[in-house]
Every structure is written in C-alpha cells, then in structure tokens.
Amino acid sequence: MSKEMIIYAGSINRDHVHMLTGIPPQLSVSRAVQYLKGKSSHKLLSEYRQLRKRYWGQHLWARGYWVASSGNVTDEVWKEYIKNQQPPDPEDDFDVV
C-alpha cells in the first residue's frame, strides 16, 4: 500500500502538533497517524541523543490524536489557522530548529 502523504502546513508546540496533511484515499486516517507517529518518533530518537535518554523505554507520542476533514473549509483557511498557532514564549530552552 502506498503511503504517499503530503504535509501542506504544520506548527509545532510543546505538547502538540498541528498539520494539514493529504493522505491517499485507500489509507485510513488511523493508519496514517500511526505511520506518521512511528516514522517521526524513529527519526527523532535516532537523531537526538537527549530525546533518546529522556524517553528510554517510553513512547515519544501520546496515544491519541484529533482529526478534522477539510471538506467544509478551504485548505487556505486551514493553512492560515495552522500558521497562527504560534506557541507562547517558553519558560525554558524549548526550541524548534
């Protein structure tokens, strides 16, 4: 099965991620989320030693997710919404590079 997903927009906060994603019609939303979480977790933990130490024996991502289809709203509206999801100034050294 092809997993050719497209991420059109994204915003990263301390405790959640906003993404506007296109998935192929034969791929269920739950499988797409499972795939995205699995691949991103593997890549992040393999590239960042401090994450590997912090999450040793644990899961990087929480079990849940929230999804909405963009059928009633244009992709441009969703992109603008995601662009405006800027995190508040952090109290520590949290930084997305």
What pLDDT score was predicted for residue 75? Answer: 82
User: For 70-97, what is each residue's pLDDT tens digit?
Assistant: 777 888 888 888 888 766 665 556 555 5
Per the annotation, the verdict on 48 as an active-site residue is no
- Going from N- to C-terminal start, the domains of the chain cover 6-83
Q: Please provide the DSSP assignment of 42-70 as one string.
A: HHHHHH-HHHHHHTTTS-SS-S------S
**Confidence (pTM):** 0.67
pLDDT of residue 97: 54
pLDDT recorded at residue 36: 87
Write out pLDDT tens, residues 17-62: 888 889 998 999 999 988 888 888 888 888 888 777 777 777 778 7
Active-site option among 35, 55, 65, 81: 81
CA-nearest of 7, 33, 17, 6 to 85 is 17
